[in-house]
Amino acid sequence: MEEQVEMVGRAFVDHYYHLFDNDRAALSSLYQPTSMLTFEGQKIVGVDDISSKLNQLPFDQSKHLISTIDSQPSSSSGGIMVFVSGSLQLPGEEHQLRFSQMFHLIPTPQGSFFVQNDIFRLNYG
């Protein structure tokens, strides 16, 4: 069980940032109408508004480099908490931006997971 939680967390993180960096519009497939995103303190609810926010970020290209992934089962409902730290390289920027992000993944009836909670913060030194 424990190992499976770690595997799901890592697979999700790979998938999420791969989509973010290569096909950002497809991230909408990971959210649902109940999903919540807090992005640098801005609260956004629902797959449509979250998708708009992510697609309207002021950069077209990005490259996420993952430093750490910590996963835990969230409760008896089969949910998984995933905590990520890493850095974000944007085009034309000399320095990478450090970030932390947490996801609460909830199982779907189809055997997959969706993002119920998503909180993103840049780490200012």
Judged by the rule CB under 8 A, the positions of this chain that interact with a copy of itself are 2, 36, 38, 41, 43, 67-68, 70, 72-75, 77, 79, 81, 83, 85, 98, 100, 102, 104, 106, 116-117, 119, 121, 123-125
Q: How far apart are CB 10 and a copy of itself at their closest, in Å?
A: 13
The distance of closest approach from Cβ of residue 89 to a copy of itself in the complex, given in angstroms and rounded to an integer, is 15
Please give the C-alpha separations between residue 78 and each of 70, 83, 105, in angstroms, as whole numbers.
Answer: 16, 17, 9
The number of helix segments (H) and strand segments (E) in the chain equals 2, 6
Nearer of residues 63 and 83 to a copy of itself, judged by Cβ: 83
Q: How far is the CB of 67 from a copy of itself (least distance, A)?
A: 8
Considering the complex, state which of residue 61 and residue 68 has its C-beta at the smaller distance from a copy of itself: 68
- Residue whose CB is less far from a copy of itself, 28 or 117: 117
**Structure tokens, 119:** 């909180």
**Which three-class secondary structure state does DSSP give residue 45?**
strand
CA Rg, the chain, in Å?
Answer: 14
